């Protein structure tokens, strides 16, 4: 098992790398780009909301700020279409950083439900600003990004695919690193009992803010990629409250606070949504599917797919190992006697 | 001079005076008991000492240093560990992860280092073994029994090597075998130099364990002395049986 796991991951990575070569159809690659983009977003969102339990429903604000940051940089610095805008994606992340620090500093003063409400309010403040700061955002007319005219229709999606995949891999690496760091341990402690964590010396305020900023920057960079991919951005499409719900739903579906959960959730939800949109047009059937999915998750696996599956697998293995022991008991009575006294000794004191 | 002393502490919640110029002191190397009827202010006193609650007046001294109304984190860092009446562990983390929360690193090291170094892992295992939880190290803490949670909370504190440990009803709701086990662990640690202040309703536990007992009633200390002295003190009997 130990050797199998990395092998599986390498295999998955290999599949992800050759995917656009195997399925060059632009419709398919577009679907995958959106799926990977949301996987990165959900992974980023999970760093604050999954690890610390602070459910943020305003991260679309950072998504939109990242998108507008890239659009404005391209516009003001006259960046031509091509590979250059990709280099500016980290810069868009840097633009999000101080803004998210400011918002996080305010929102993280409160907890639980109040925190959720404050983040929603912040999202709408930013959305209103996008509509009304016309001299920057051009109001509801929106902004256009440079068009990579050299790229043919067949090739167009390929650079976006790999850049999105790279962002997903980076955010997964960051998430994995945090989960295994002392900092991450503190975040989990905050999720379970914040005051107690503080009492044991965890720097709760600094940790929460750091997690908030890291997740916002990842979501902001995803927004920048998205903006370049869709070419023109408007307040209505960029600051879409559905995004807020979507990233939360994806993480919940896959498993909040797990590493792979948000990715799995994003792949399922986003691919399903794209499929429905292509099959039935823009009439919003997918919203019904959203609702149905949410209900199924809440009823049958409230902790999400990954934790539920992990539990089932563990139970299966325990059940199997017990069967093996029973078989051994039946065949070798002498050995079984030894085993039972051994367990008694190990039991120590009964609690 | 005593290791830990609270002098003239007052604390009111609205009109209720939970602590009324109450003073207690704990000698270094002792196991001191703090008893009293329900609502006499024992837990409030713990909260004030460990910074979870601000006192209205009075001061708390630890090793000659004034720690009145310092933050819980600072007080914990200085070497005062505590457990809670209703145990507070981190239920969705494993037993092993729980053990490491109290081990902190400075500045960016927390961000850049793994949650558990090998020597910390070793130390945590030793302590889990000490309280008899070593083989449950990979279980989620929330799945432990009530008694096991108490032991885990106890072990979590020990890893930070506190000088004094405040135990809030360690024997409450725990079966008798476990109570004896816990008492024996406390004695062992005490021999290794850790001072204890214990709030407990189980009189047998207190009387057998503590060298000195203080009695609180209506927010102030009404008696102190050896367990035998306290037991025969008429004021104590009245506090428990009177009204």
**pLDDT tens digit sequence for A10-56:** 888 888 888 888 888 888 888 899 999 999 999 999 999 999 989 99
Chain B positions in Cβ-Cβ contact with residue A349 (cut-off 8 Å): 132, 177-178, 181
Cβ distance B110 to A188 less than 8 Å, yes or no, reads no
Nearest CA in chain B to A206: B107
Distance (Å) of CA A7 to CA A12, A317, A330: 9, 21, 38
Predicted-assembly ipTM surpassing the 0.90 threshold:
no
List the one residue out of A41, B173, B225 whose CA is nearest residue B235: B225
List all residues of chain B from 32 to 71 with a beta carbon under 8 Å from chain A.
Answer: 50-52, 71
**Pair (A42, A185) in one structural domain:** yes
Chain B interface includes A200 (CB < 8 A): yes
- What's the pLDDT band for A342 if we cut at 50, 70, 90? very low
pLDDT at B105: 66
Which segments of chain B have a pLDDT < 50?
Answer: none
Closest chain A CA to residue B77: A201
B47: Cβ–Cβ under 8 A, 6 or more apart, which residues?
B53
Whether A182 and A267 share a structural domain: yes
Whether A177 and A315 map to the same domain: the answer is no
- Substitution target in A199, A206, A255, A302 with the highest count of B β-carbons within 10 Å is A199
CATH number for the domain that contains residue A249: 1.10.3470
Residue of chain A whose Cα is closest to the Cα of B75:
A199
Residues A172 and A246 in one domain: yes
> Rg of chain B's alpha carbons, rounded to an integer?
18
Please judge whether B90 and A189 are an interchain contact, meaning their C-beta atoms are less than 8 angstroms apart.
Answer: yes
Nearest to B198 by CA among B52, B26, B72: B26
The count of CB pairs under 8 A between chains A and B is 95
B144: left (phi over 0), alpha (psi -120 to 50) or beta: beta
Which pairs with CB-CB distance under 8 Å and at least 24 residues apart come from A282-287?
none
pLDDT confidence of residue A282? 66
**Looking at the structure, do residues A87 and A228 belong to the same domain, yes or no?**
yes
CA distance to partner chain B, nearest, from residue A189 (Å): 6
Residue among B71, B97, B178 whose CB faces A351 most closely: B178
Residue-wise pLDDT for B32-61, tens only, equals 988 888 888 888 888 889 888 888 888 888
Cβ of B92 and A192 within 8 Å? yes
- Nearest-Cα residue of chain A relative to residue B50: A199
What integer pLDDT is reported at residue A338 of this predicted model?
41
| Of residues B170 and A225, more confidently modeled | A225
Task: Give the pLDDT score at A117.
Answer: 92
The verdict on residue A287 lying in a domain is yes
Q: Does residue A165 form part of some domain?
A: yes
Give yes or no: residues A157 and A235 share one domain: yes
A309 shares a domain with A197: no
**DSSP class per residue in B89-152:** --TTSBHHHHHHHT----TTHHHHSBS--HHHHHHHHHHHHHTT-GGGTTSBGGGS-HHHHHHH
Average pLDDT across chain A, whole number? 84
Task: Examine the domain organization and report whether A240 and A328 are in the same domain.
Answer: no
User: What does DSSP say about strands B4-13 and B16-26: parallel, antiparallel, or unpaired?
Assistant: antiparallel
Tally of structural domains, chain A: 2
Tell me whether residue A346 is in a domain.
Answer: no
pLDDT given for residue A336 in this prediction: 42
- Both A325 and A260 in one domain: the answer is no
Picking from B76, B84, B90, the nearest residue to A201 by CB comes out as B76
For the domain bounded by B4-241, which CATH number is listed?
3.40.50.300
DSSP string computed for A47-64:
HHHHHH----S-THHHHH
- What is the sign of the dihedral through the CA atoms of A265, A301, A50 and A243? positive
Strands B31-35 and B57-62: unpaired
Q: Are residues A161 and A310 in the same domain?
A: no
Look at B90 and A346 and tell me if their CB atoms are within 8 Å.
no
In the structure, what pLDDT confidence band is assigned to residue A350 with cuts at 50, 70 and 90?
Answer: very low
Q: Is there a single domain that holds both residue A320 and residue A211?
A: no
A270's enclosing H/E stretch is helix A261-280
Residue A334 has pLDDT above 60, yes or no: no
pLDDT single digits (tens) A166-220: 999 999 999 999 988 888 899 999 999 988 888 888 888 889 999 999 999 999 9
A298 with A308, same domain?
Answer: no
Comparing CA positions, the residue from B67, B61, B55, B60 lying closest to residue B17 is B55
Measured CA angle at B122 (ends B119, B124), to 5 deg? 110
- Residue A12 in any domain: the answer is no
Structure tokens, A171: 């955010």
Q: Is residue A249 part of a domain?
A: yes
Could you tell me if residue A3 is inside a domain?
Answer: no
* Residue A2 falls inside a structural domain: no
The answer to the question of residue A350 being in a domain is: no
* Domain region containing A139: 19-303
Query: Chain A residues with CB inside 8 Å of B88's CB?
Result: 193, 196
pLDDT of residue A171: 94
- Please tell me whether residue A30 adopts helix, strand or coil conformation: helix
């Amino acid at each position: 098992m130990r050797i199998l796991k990395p092998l599986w991951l390498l295999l998955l990575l290999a599949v992800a790398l050759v995917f656009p070569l195997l399925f060059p159809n632009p419709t398919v690659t577009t679907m995958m780009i959106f799926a990977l983009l949301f996987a990165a977003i959900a992974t980023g969102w999970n760093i604050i909301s999954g690890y610390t339990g602070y459910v943020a429903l305003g991260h679309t604000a950072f998504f939109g700020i990242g998108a507008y940051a890239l659009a404005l940089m391209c516009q003001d610095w006259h960046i031509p279409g091509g590979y250059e805008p990709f280099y500016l994606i980290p810069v868009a992340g840097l633009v999000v950083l101080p803004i998210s620090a400011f918002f996080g500093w305010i929102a993280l003063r409160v907890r639980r439900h109040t925190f959720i409400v404050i983040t929603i309010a912040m999202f709408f403040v930013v959305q209103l600003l996008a509509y009304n700061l016309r001299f920057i955002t051009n109001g509801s007319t929106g902004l256009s990004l440079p068009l990579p005219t050299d790229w043919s229709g067949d090739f167009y999606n390929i650079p976006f695919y790999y850049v999105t995949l790279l962002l997903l891999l980076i955010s997964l690496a960051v998430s994995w690193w945090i989960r295994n760091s002392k900092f991450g341990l503190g975040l989990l402690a905050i999720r379970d009992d914040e005051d107690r964590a503080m009492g044991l010396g965890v720097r709760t305020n600094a940790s929460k803010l750091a997690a908030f900023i890291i997740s916002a920057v990842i979501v902001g960079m995803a927004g920048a990629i998205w903006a370049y991919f869709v070419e023109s951005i408007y307040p209505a499409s960029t600051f879409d409250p559905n995004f807020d719900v979507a990233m939360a739903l994806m993480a919940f579906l896959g498993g909040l606070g797990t590493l792979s959960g948000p990715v799995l959730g994003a792949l399922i939800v986003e691919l399903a949504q794209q499929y429905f949109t292509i099959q039935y047009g823009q009439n919003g059937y997918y919203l019904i599917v959203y609702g149905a999915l949410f209900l199924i998750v809440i009823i049958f696996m409230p902790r999400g797919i990954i934790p539920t599956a992990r539990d089932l697998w563990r139970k299966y293995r325990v059940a199997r190992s017990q069967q093996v022991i029973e078989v051994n008991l039946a065949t070798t009575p002498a050995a079984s006697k030894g085993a039972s006294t051994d367990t008694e000794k190990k039991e120590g004191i009964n609690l | 001079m005593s290791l830990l002393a609270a002098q003239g502490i007052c604390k009111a919640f609205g009109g209720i005076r939970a602590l009324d110029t109450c003073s207690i002191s704990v000698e270094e190397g002792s196991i001191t008991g703090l008893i009293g009827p329900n609502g006499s202010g024992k837990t409030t006193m713990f909260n004030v000492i460990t910074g979870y609650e601000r006192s209205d007046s009075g001061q708390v001294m630890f090793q000659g240093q004034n720690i009145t109304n310092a933050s819980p984190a600072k007080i914990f860092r200085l070497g005062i560990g505590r457990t809670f009446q209703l145990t507070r562990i981190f239920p969705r983390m494993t037993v092993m992860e729980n053990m490491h929360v109290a081990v902190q690193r400075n500045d960016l090291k927390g961000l850049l280092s793994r949650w558990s170094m090998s020597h910390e892992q070793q130390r945590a295992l030793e302590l889990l073994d000490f309280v008899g939880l070593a083989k449950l190290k990979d279980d989620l803490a929330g799945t432990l029994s009530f008694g096991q949670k108490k032991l885990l909370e106890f072990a979590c504190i020990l890893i930070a090597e506190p000088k004094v440990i405040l135990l809030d009803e360690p024997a409450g709701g725990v079966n008798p075998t476990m109570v004896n086990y816990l008492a024996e662990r406390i004695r062992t640690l005490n021999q290794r130099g850790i001072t204890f202040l214990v709030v407990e309703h189980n009189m047998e536990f207190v009387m057998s364990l503590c060298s000195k007992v203080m009695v609180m009633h209506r927010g102030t200390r009404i008696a102190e002395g050896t367990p035998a002295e306290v037991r025969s003190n008429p004021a104590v009997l009245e506090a428990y049986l009177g009204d």
